[in-house]
């Protein structure tokens, strides 16, 4: 029997301050991916109390706000100024 791989429980870092709950997600795993620590699940819980009665029980399709998540910076490919040494550039 061939093994199947499910991507439904994978958690992508949100880019717009929101995340759509997928089957298998829980606040601990989501906060571990987003904030780097599962113990920060309370940030998600507090920010979405209007939708979450029990932090151990969330449902696929719910859309939660993810506070303090900064969207990735857009890099301007035409920018040519040098980086300062403290930014990773070389002195010169």
pLDDT in tens, 18-48: 899 999 999 999 999 988 999 999 999 999 9
Residue by residue, what is the 3-state secondary structure of the chain?
Answer: CCCCCCCCCCCCCCCCCEEECCCCCCHHHHHHHHHCCHHHHHHHHHHCCCCCCCCCCCCCCCEEECCCCCCCCCCCCCCCCCCCHHHCCCCC
Query: What's the pLDDT tens digit per position in 51-89?
Result: 999 999 999 999 999 987 655 555 566 666 666 666 666
Any idea where the domains of the chain sit in the sequence? Answer: 18-65
2 confidence band (pLDDT: 50, 70, 90): very low
CATH code that applies to domain 18-65: 3.10.350.10
The reported pTM is: 0.61
């Amino acid at each position: 029997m061939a093994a199947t791989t499910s991507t439904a429980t994978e958690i992508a870092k949100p880019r717009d301050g929101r995340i759509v709950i997928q089957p298998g997600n829980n606040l601990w795993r989501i906060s571990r991916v987003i904030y780097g620590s599962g113990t920060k699940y309370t940030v998600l819980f507090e920010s979405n109390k209007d939708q979450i009665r029990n932090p151990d029980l969330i449902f696929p399709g719910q859309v939660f706000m993810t506070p303090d998540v900064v969207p990735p910076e857009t890099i301007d490919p035409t920018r040519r100024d040098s980086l300062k040494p403290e930014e990773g550039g070389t002195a010169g």
